[in-house]
Structure 1
């Protein structure tokens, strides 16, 4: 019989892009205060992602520290054109995995370090939990609902990209758009802006844009020892980026990248 699930205080901690120096002092304190840290495993081809999170824990946690519990990340169904339904199913499956991992830890004797207080459960979120991340939406599905949800802001890949290239994110007084590769492919250039930051693009969607007058700044594995950067007029840089991206993904088994496009520079 599984232990009854106690009230859970959930902390979603932004950890930047994999560099321990990206962790804020607030993030380190939140990690140390947790009773339980949940780490997702996304399959053998992405085992290094779990190892990076584990390395962050090893770098900042001191004894007595939290229990660290892994769980297998569900794979999103990708067959069919019902993208939103696919995401909804996936989020529901992840929620069940979280709750199963918490229950498993309780069954093995985990208790709140502070008697009478909610169990402090933390998840380490790449970048910042507010930007193109679904952890908050998944947390809202938990049953029973968490006693509390705390978000610790993290350094986003968008910030690290601009810092790595030493560029300003936007023109003076000008707006910009943060979008996805899917949106760029399906909708084309976003209206009303000259600057677009593109995330979650495994298809190199910039190759489908008219390249005249466009400049690209691209980065992968930002903040890590293997960081890769390229920039230039889109017509010149695009073939280099496509080739470098494919080679890096083949070499490491995974890639996280982001790019900024600007018209008129």
Structure 2
């Protein structure tokens, strides 16, 4: 029986690797690397660095495949994601079927944590549901960009006894959640700019844990334009950006 591990590798700093993740690395025969193009080569480089740094007990190999891309534009976002995951499912099935021997262990190294805005778990479940392949899989949690953001800004995510909401930039553009603390991920359109008239603090970070890390914090109305400028320049310089932010209502005291 083949075995697949989905290993959360943290939000960019190799030292975010947990002891459980390091132990898991040392059981793997083949690592599947999804190539997202030259501009995102650092994402593969980090995965290779992690393996070279932490694997001490066995030989292993890498197998690379081109990662399918989501169709962008004004179409149906949910349908585009469904199509993307179907394309990834076909790629994963081919990798597991053709590039692993029976009894071997393969792994996908997931940025951050596999349970938070990542589809690897559901894609492997879909592969199994098709019934053409049989394998078992386990999930190893990792330090997410949300946790790393709070740590780097030295703030808790929630006020005492109060909830937080984790959402996307697309949803934030539609409305500001009622909760007084909201974490926003996958914001390609600077959606915080829709709420500069609100009395909010923002804690923003990009490339968290990497040498390219950027951090900005302050009253949203005071720093929103700065974040937009820095974000635009960073995307131009690197060819991609991965950022997260926490917004919090300023009125009231912790309870």
- Matching of residues 97-116 of structure 1 within 5 Å: 97-106=91-100, 111=101
1:163 aligns with 2:151: yes
Give the aligned partner of residue 4 of structure 1.
none
Q: Which stretch of the first structure deviates more once superposed, 171-180 or 246-255?
A: 246-255
Match of 1:123 among 76, 94, 108: 108
1:3-82 alignment runs, 5 A limit: 7-62=1-56, 64-82=58-76
After TM superposition, give the deviation of residue 85 of structure 1 in Å: 1.5
Residue 198 of structure 1 pairs with residue 179 of structure 2 = no
> How far apart are residue 228 of structure 1 and its match?
0.8
Task: Please name the residue that 2:81 is paired with.
Answer: 87
Match of 1:115 in 2: none
Q: Give the Cα separation in 2 of the matches to 1:210 and 1:174.
A: 23
Is the 1:37–1:68 contact (alpha carbons within 8 Å) kept by the matching residues of 2?
Answer: yes
Question: Aligned partners of 2:147 and 2:32: how far apart in 1?
Answer: 26
Q: Equivalent residue for 2:214?
A: 228
Q: How far off its partner does 1:78 sit?
A: 2.0
Q: 2:199 is matched with which residue?
A: 213
In structure 1, C-alpha distance between the alignment counterparts of 2:159 and 2:58, rounded to whole Å:
48
Q: 1:63, 1:174 → 2: CA distance?
A: 45
1:65, distance to aligned residue in structure 2 (A): 2.4
1:194-245 deviation per Cα after TM superposition (whole angstroms, max 9, x unaligned): 0000000111100011433111000011111221100000011111111111
Q: Which of structure 1's runs of 4+ aligned residues deviate more than 6 A?
A: none
Q: Distance in 1 between matches of 2:194 and 2:62?
A: 43
Matched, 1:138 2:158: no
Does the aligned pair in 2 maintain the 1:14–1:126 contact within 8 Å? yes
Cα distance between partner residues in 1 of 2:116 and 2:10? 12
Q: For 1:64 and 1:80, how far apart are their aligned partners in 2?
A: 48
CA shift for structure 1 position 80: 4.5
Change in CA separation of 1:208 and 1:227 when aligned onto 2, cut-off 3 Å: same
Distance in structure 2 (CA, Å) of the matches to 1:177 and 1:146: 37
SS at match of 1:140: helix
Residue 166 of structure 2 corresponds to which residue in structure 1? 178
Check whether the contact 2:196–2:220 (CA below 8 A) recurs between aligned residues.
no
CA RMSD of aligned residues (A): 1.6
Q: Partners of 1:202 and 1:79 in 2: how far apart?
A: 12
Residues 1:168 and 1:94: Cα distance change in structure 2 (over 3 Å) = same
For the residues of structure 1 that align with 2:53 and 2:172, how far apart are their CA atoms?
A: 38
| Deviation at residue 119 of structure 1 after TM alignment | 2.8
Aligned length: 248
Task: Assess if the C-alpha contact under 8 Å between 2:114 and 2:142 holds in 1.
Answer: yes
Secondary structure at the aligned position of 1:17 is classed as: coil
